[in-house]
């Protein structure tokens, strides 16, 4: 065989080898890409998601060429926003790019629009949508500041969930605003309830440094109840025989039941730095009722051995009006 045919054969062999190597490389790159696609699939899906606005409202902003955000409109409580999870931060605020909303579908695709939040909690993923609507069913409760809703939701849990009433008339006697602990910040007292007619009283005070509300007092009772405000120097029972001037403002917390009802005054006491709850009756009347209750419970076997019962002044059932 001459030299030229031998060279041609060698070239053909190199070409075939290069083709095989190229094919194998293409297959390898394709497999690597498929592997990467599968491994990052969940991450890519989670880069955008639907969130519900649980703040009373959030600003929708447009990002200008100077990089600054300008408010163009607001998104009220309950608005569903499809946003990119990875956001930007500017001037202690978070900005997440809005792709669409339950109100506007195509508008946000044209330019760079962002939702502005102070606390990421102001946006909740759609898994919490039904729960928030259950706990805050009326406009009066949906308009509560986010830090109050956050504290109430974190204290509640599935299976033992307390929620605001859906009765538009009773909601007015379920919320009281005042500076209960005299720190010059507005606090709140609220009544939440369950389907079994149990209810729970919350008193939340505001921490201006953390810009958060925290639960300072709770109480549970059966049936329906109402709360209302009383001013400083209002006459209430505070564990004694006579009405006394309240040292500061507080809450009257009262059952709506005519029989076996209750009536308390809930007031902050600076000495203990706690809220006290006083039954609104003279101490002697409370002692008599406690003795009668004790006597009825132990009537029979112990009826010949009566026991004198003392009402302890200032206990958690602390008696006041």
**Token pair for residue 164?**
């605001």
Per-residue confidence of the chain (321 residues) as pLDDT tens digits?
A: 556 666 666 677 777 777 787 778 888 887 877 776 666 555 545 588 899 999 999 999 998 888 899 999 999 999 999 998 788 899 889 999 998 888 877 788 777 899 999 988 999 988 778 889 999 999 999 999 999 999 999 888 766 789 999 999 999 999 999 999 999 999 999 999 988 788 999 999 999 998 899 999 999 998 899 999 999 999 999 999 999 999 999 999 999 988 888 999 999 999 999 999 999 999 999 899 887 766 555 554 444 443 333 333 333 333 343
Query: Are 165 and 193 contacting, i.e. CB atoms less than 8 angstroms apart?
Result: yes
Cα 164 versus chain centre, distance: 12
Give burial (CB, 10 Å; 0-12/13-18/19+) of 190: buried
Helices (H), 80-157: 129-135, 139-142, 146-155
Angle 130-132-133 (CA atoms, 0-180°, nearest 5)? 65
Query: Are 318 and 232 contacting, i.e. CB atoms less than 8 angstroms apart?
Result: no
d(CA 263, CA 248): 18
d(CA 299, CA 111): 80
Q: How many CA atoms lie within 13 A of 65 on its CB side?
A: 0
């Amino acid at each position: 065989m001459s030299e030229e045919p031998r060279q041609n054969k060698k070239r053909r062999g190199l070409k075939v080898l290069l083709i095989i190597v190229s094919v194998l490389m293409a297959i390898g790159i394709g497999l690597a890409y498929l592997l990467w696609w599968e491994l990052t699939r969940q991450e890519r899906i989670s880069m955008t998601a639907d969130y519900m606005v649980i703040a009373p409202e959030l600003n929708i902003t447009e990002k200008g060429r100077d990089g600054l955000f300008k408010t163009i409109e607001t998104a009220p409580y309950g608005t569903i926003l499809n946003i990119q999870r990875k956001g930007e931060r500017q001037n202690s605020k978070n900005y997440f790019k809005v792709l669409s909303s339950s109100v506007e579908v195509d508008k946000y695709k044209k330019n760079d629009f962002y939702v502005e939040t102070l606390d990421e909690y102001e946006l909740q993923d759609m898994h919490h949508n039904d729960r928030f609507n259950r706990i805050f069913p009326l406009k009066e409760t949906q308009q509560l500041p986010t830090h109050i809703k956050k504290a109430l939701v974190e204290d509640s849990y599935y299976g033992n969930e307390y929620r605001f009433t859906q009765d538009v008339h009773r909601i007015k006697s379920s919320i009281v605003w005042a500076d209960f602990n005299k720190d010059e910040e507005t606090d709140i007292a609220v009544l939440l309830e369950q389907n079994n007619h149990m209810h729970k009283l919350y008193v939340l005070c505001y921490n201006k440094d953390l810009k958060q509300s925290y639960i300072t007092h709770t109480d549970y009772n059966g049936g329906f109840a109402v709360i209302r405000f009383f001013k400083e120097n209002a006459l209430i029972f505070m564990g004694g025989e006579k009405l006394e001037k309240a040292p500061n403002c507080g809450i009257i917390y009262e059952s709506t039941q005519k029989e076996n009802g209750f009536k308390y005054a809930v007031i902050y006491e600076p000495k203990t730095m706690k809220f006290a709850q006083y039954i609104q009756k003279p101490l002697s009347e409370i002692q008599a009722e406690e003795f009668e209750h004790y006597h009825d419970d132990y009537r029979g076997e112990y009826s010949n051995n009566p026991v004198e019962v003392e009402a302890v002044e200032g206990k958690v059932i602390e008696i006041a009006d």
